[in-house]
Amino acid sequence: MISRVKKTALAALLLLCGAALAGAQAPVKRSWYLGVQGGASFGQGTFRSVTEHGFHPGLQGGLSAGYRFSRLFSLEAGVRGGGQSQYALDCCPYWLSEAGERHMTPIPGEKGWNYGDLAAATRWGKASLQANFDLLSLVTAPDSRWSLELSPQLSAVLTRTKLLTPDREISYDPQWHFGYGGQASVGYRLTDRLALDLFGGITCLSGERFDNVPVHAHKSNFLWDGGLRLRIGLGK
């Protein structure tokens, strides 16, 4: 899964760089802007927010600031935070000991819980840098109100997870991750200074599993989110 994401992200980045060169002669409209966003957050590690039994979304929100070099290209930095819960899939009928070890069946004399009785509650914060490429700017008139952006992104992510058992909570130390991924958004310019975006994105995480559940079979380790963002232009 992760290798496919890497290959897709690299191919998209090469395509967008080519598009940026192709649009280099387009009129430049430089300006600063701010963004305020909010929406839903999901996680996927050994446990995940989307299971056979439904969706378990959390909430996320953030602020961003960027500079638009042209209709095609802008560069943006942002901070956001959120949280969500993750649960086991039906294909993981394991038992977790109090020491954090996975077993096929309960161990006599040891304290532990079935995976199906557990939940991983995660809180996270992220500082990111991303490049935005508005692909619609290549094929629409300069006064078009619509945008379609693809945005490769790098980030530093701090996660902290509590394991919720039937009888108590188990807290784990915070973890730092290098994050890589991107997002896509469709936007509409409401006025000369205001625009509204509908976005969705994924952040793959390096290092240890963010949900602190032992790695087995499922090797994914990422956060994904979506929502609405209000962009406020600061240019003249």
> pTM of the full predicted structure?
0.83
Strands (E) in 142-193, as ranges, are 146-164, 169-171, 175-189
At the top level of CATH, the class of 2-21+39-88+120-218 is mainly beta
Higher-confidence position of 199 and 88: 199
Percentage, residues of the chain above pLDDT 70: 87
pLDDT tens, residue by residue, 224-234: 999 999 999 99
- Judged against a pLDDT cut of 50, whether residue 110 lies above it is answered with yes
Domain ranges of the chain: 2-21+39-88+120-218
pLDDT tens, residue by residue, 141-177: 988 999 999 999 999 999 999 999 998 899 999 999 9
Backbone angles phi, psi at 209, to 5 degrees: -60, 125
Q: Which tokens belong to 75? A: 């560069």
List of residues 6+ apart from 14 with CB closer than 8 A: none
- Give the model's pLDDT for residue 144: 92
Residue type, 89: L
Strand order in the sheet with 102-103: 102-103, 95-97, 112-114
Taking Cα atoms as reference points, which of 18, 84, 14 lies closest to residue 48? 84
Residue 96 — very low, low, confident or very high, per pLDDT cuts 50/70/90?
confident
